[in-house]
Amino acid sequence: MKNYKGKFITFEGSEGSGKSTQARLLSRYLKSKGKRVLHIREPGGVAISEKIRGILLDVKNKKMSDTTETLLYMAARAQLVEEIIEPALKKGKIVIADRFLDSTIVYQGYGNRVNLKLIHTLGKHVTQGIKPHLTFVFDIGVEKGLSRTGKTKDRIEQRSLFYHQRVRNGYLAIAKKEPGRIKVINAKGSKSEIQNRLRRYINRLLKI
């Protein structure tokens, strides 16, 4: 990890885990503490990456190969790092990202069984060596999570329960490998209870 003034915090998890809501709440909390915060999502965050997001999640794109899917996620990430993430970290901002490289490792690697070594190699290049200081993985049962996503499901959400179980298992596997960086958060409980758990980790990291 390059030595930037800022801090990089990522939110990960299966579909319907509540990570996006918690990321927004944490952003508000840090701003209330006078911190300079940038809240972004993946894929997306900048014009080019948002267009790629549209392609990736469009249910009409049924013929998309696993390799194409992986490379599109990487392309969207490369643009976001170049335009937004690296400049913000250089300026000393706290960057909160709703998904980052771990998502590709899990969804395309563990989920679609794309070669993990290839994903790590590409990931190192597109992230410019940037790695989160802290990652929250929100864990929830597959069926419970999918039931929270609503009636209209995107291309990824429409995949089988077996696929989504591989994704969940993938998150738990990478969390075991990097317990210092990755904290598994049980997605059960009220929004405030979960948020308070996150803040304890954040307060420690930022010495608030």
Q: Is residue 198 part of a domain?
A: yes
Reported pTM: 0.95
Neighbours of 5 (CB within 10 A): 10
pLDDT at residue 151, as a whole number: 82
Q: How far apart are CA 200 and CA 208, in angstroms?
A: 10
Q: Is residue 22 part of a domain?
A: yes
- pLDDT tens digits along 125-146: 999 999 999 999 999 999 898 8
Q: Is residue 2 part of a domain?
A: no
* pLDDT of 169 above 90: yes
Residue 86 corresponds to which tokens in the numbers above?
A: 């690296």
Q: How far apart are CA 154 and CA 58, in angstroms?
A: 6
* Residue 115 backbone phi and psi in degrees, to 5: -50, 120
Q: Is residue 37 part of a domain?
A: yes
pLDDT at residue 1, as a whole number: 61
Q: Which of 2, 13, 17 is nearest to 148 (CA)?
A: 17
| Exposure on the CB side of residue 196, measured as CA atoms within 13 A | 5
Q: Is residue 174 part of a domain?
A: yes
CATH number for position 27: 3.40.50.300
- pLDDT tens digits along 25-77: 999 999 999 999 999 999 999 999 999 999 999 999 999 999 999 999 999 99
Q: Is residue 1 part of a domain?
A: no
Q: Is residue 56 part of a domain?
A: yes
* pLDDT of 20 above 70: yes
How would you class 137 by CB atoms within 10 Å of its CB: exposed for 0-12, middle for 13-18, buried for 19 or more?
buried
Q: Is residue 169 part of a domain?
A: yes
* Residue 157 backbone phi and psi in degrees, to 5: -60, -25
For residue 139, what are the domain limits? Answer: 7-206
Total domains in the fold of the chain: 1
